[in-house]
């Protein structure tokens, strides 16, 4: 059975069958949805569903929390259409392929002389990130809709990007980055901005 999937607000339309995930169908149609693990674990492929029915092959994937489900979020790498579906993905077609949402792993974490924190993040697989330019910013997606916007630092290591976090310790997420984040922890980022 084939269904029509529409991405708003760009009004991009593609078909997806009851035997493939929305991500697989989108990539086959050359639509560049963000994704990472493709196993339901990282949340990089999370988008908002406006209308329609989807199902997951087994249980609800681990990256999808109850509040995400209540907010109408789905994971495209696992979701299979059971009807025509409308998705809301503002970054598709607006920012085109310049802005990426990706899962990364913390490769290193260093305190800098000015008291700020440098995080070196490993990109997934062979993913290439757009080139560094001065004053570029990146968002760290902190979950439950919270976003931490930080500066990008120059880094010549392949498949790594470096971020500079200002010590704003009244912000609980910044405090977490300084005090609790460990090497190999996962962070979802979006950028460059
Ligand atoms: S790509 Fe990781 S949860 Fe879908």
Domains, the chain, in order of start with CATH, read 2-88 (3.10.20.30), 100-191 (2.40.30.10)
**Residue 98 pLDDT:** 64
| Ligand 1 pocket mutation, candidates 27, 41, 104, 187, criterion most atoms within 8 A of CB | 41
Q: Length of the chain, please?
A: 193
Ligand 1 pocket, residue 42 CB under 6 Å: yes
Of all residues in the chain, what percent carry a pLDDT higher than 70? 93
- Distance, in Å, from the CA atom of 93 to the CA atom of 188, rounded to the nearest integer, reads 21
Q: What is the pLDDT of residues 53-109, one digit of tens each?
A: 999 998 899 999 999 999 999 999 999 999 999 999 887 754 445 678 888 899 999
pLDDT band at 126 (very low <50, low <70, confident <90, very high): low
Q: What is the mean pLDDT of residues 98-127?
A: 88
> Does this model's pTM top 0.85?
no
Ligand 1 pocket, residue 21 CB under 6 Å: no
Contact 161, 129 (CB under 8 A): yes
Position with higher pLDDT, 124 vs 71? 71
pLDDT band at 32 (very low <50, low <70, confident <90, very high): confident
Position with higher pLDDT, 56 vs 142? 56
Rounded to the nearest angstrom, the distance between the alpha carbon of 84 and the centre of ligand 1 is 22
**Residue 172 main-chain phi, psi, to 5 deg:** -65, -30
Rounded to the nearest angstrom, the distance between the alpha carbon of 107 and the centre of ligand 1 is 20
Of all residues in the chain, what percent carry a pLDDT higher than 90? 57
- 3-state secondary structure at position 160: strand
Q: What is the mean pLDDT of residues 18-45?
A: 87
């Amino acid at each position: 059975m084939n269904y029509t999937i529409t991405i708003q607000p760009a009004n991009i339309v593609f078909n997806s069958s009851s035997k493939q995930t929305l991500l697989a169908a989108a990539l086959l149609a050359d639509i560049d949805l963000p994704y990472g693990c493709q196993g339901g674990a990282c949340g990089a492929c999370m988008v908002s569903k406006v209308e329609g029915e989807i199902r997951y092959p087994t249980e609800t994937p681990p990256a999808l929390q109850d509040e995400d489900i209540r907010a109408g979020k789905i994971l495209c790498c696992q979701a299979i259409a059971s009807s025509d579906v409308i998705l809301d993905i503002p970054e598709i077609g607006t920012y085109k392929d310049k802005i990426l949402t990706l899962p990364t792993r913390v490769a290193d974490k260093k305190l800098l002389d000015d008291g700020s924190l440098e995080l070196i993040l490993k990109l997934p697989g062979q993913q290439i990130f757009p080139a560094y330019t001065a004053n570029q910013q990146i968002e760290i997606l902190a979950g439950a809709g919270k976003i931490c916007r930080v500066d990008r630092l120059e880094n010549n290591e392949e498949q790594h990007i470096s971020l500079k976090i200002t010590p704003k310790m009244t912000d609980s997420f910044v405090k977490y980055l300084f005090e609790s984040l460990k090497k190999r922890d996962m962070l979802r980022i979006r950028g460059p901005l």
